[in-house]
Structures are given as C-alpha cells and as structure tokens.
Amino acid sequence: EAQVTQNPRYLITVTGKKLTVTCSQNMNHEYMSWYRQDPGLGLRQIYYSMNVEVTDKGDVPEGYKVSRKEKRNFPLILESPSPNQTSLYFCASSLFPNPPPYEQYFGPGTRLTVT
C-alpha cells in the first residue's frame, strides 16, 4: 500500500531535549516536505527536499533541521525544542515530474507538545 508514515504519532517532551520525528514513504517520490499546522494559521512549510542530499528552507525553518540521506526517509530534527514548537506536524511527499501539478501524499501527523 502506497503510504507516508511518521513516528511517533504523539510526543510530549521538555524544553531543550533533542528529538527526531521520522518520515518514510514507499512510493519512490523525489519531493518530500514537512509542515506544521497551528490553529488559525493553516499548514506552513518548514523544510522541503527535491531529492537525496537536496534540502531547502520553507516558510518557518527556525529551530528545525532536516536531512535526506536516502530517497525514502526525511527526518525532522528539533535540536533544542521550545514551547512555541508545540504543534501538529505533517510530512508529505509527491512525484516531481515537470510540469506541475503534483498530488501530495500526507503522513498521519505527529502531535508534539513541548513543556
């Protein structure tokens, strides 16, 4: 089954304790992206990757890191989480042919609480 998986689904942590949210897709997609969703603000892009070893900042990259060592995996790293990073996080992937549009496949979401 074609899918995007994220782990963990729920996480409560404390300020400053490094964490990683994993994302994996089994569709051989080139493009992967991380979003955060906050009430009243909609989904906002954190980082994206167009292929292995190619990553770039989205609209709200501060406080986050990513890596793309393999095509299927795109982990989101919070080196020193803070309470303002409490949010619902989504990983997404899509094929990257030219021209657009590309259907986006979303993971199930990770609800992160930083106290």
Partner 1 sequence: KNEVEQSPQNLTAQEGEFITINCSYSVGISALHWLQQHPGGGIVSLFMLSSGKKKHGRLIATINIQEKHSSLHITASHPRDSAVYICAVQYNTDKLIFGTGTRLQVFP
Q: What is the dihedral of CA 88, 70, 57, 10, to 10 degrees?
A: 10
Smallest distance from the beta carbon of 50 to partner 1, in angstroms?
A: 7
Residue 44 sits in the site that holds partner 1 (CB under 8 A) = yes
Q: Does 111 bind partner 1 (CB under 8 A)?
A: yes
Q: Identify any residues that bridge with 87 across adjacent strands, giving them in sequence order.
A: 112
**Which residues in the 63-92 window bind partner 1 by CB under 8 A?**
88, 90
- Smallest separation (angstroms) from partner 1 to the CB of 41: 7
Distance CA 26, CA 50 (A): 16
Distance of alpha carbon 99 from alpha carbon 39, whole angstroms: 32
What letter represents residue 57's amino acid?
K
Query: In the range 2-41, which residues lie near partner 1 by CB under 8 A?
Result: 31, 33, 40-41
Minimum CB separation from partner 1 for residue 67, in Å? 18
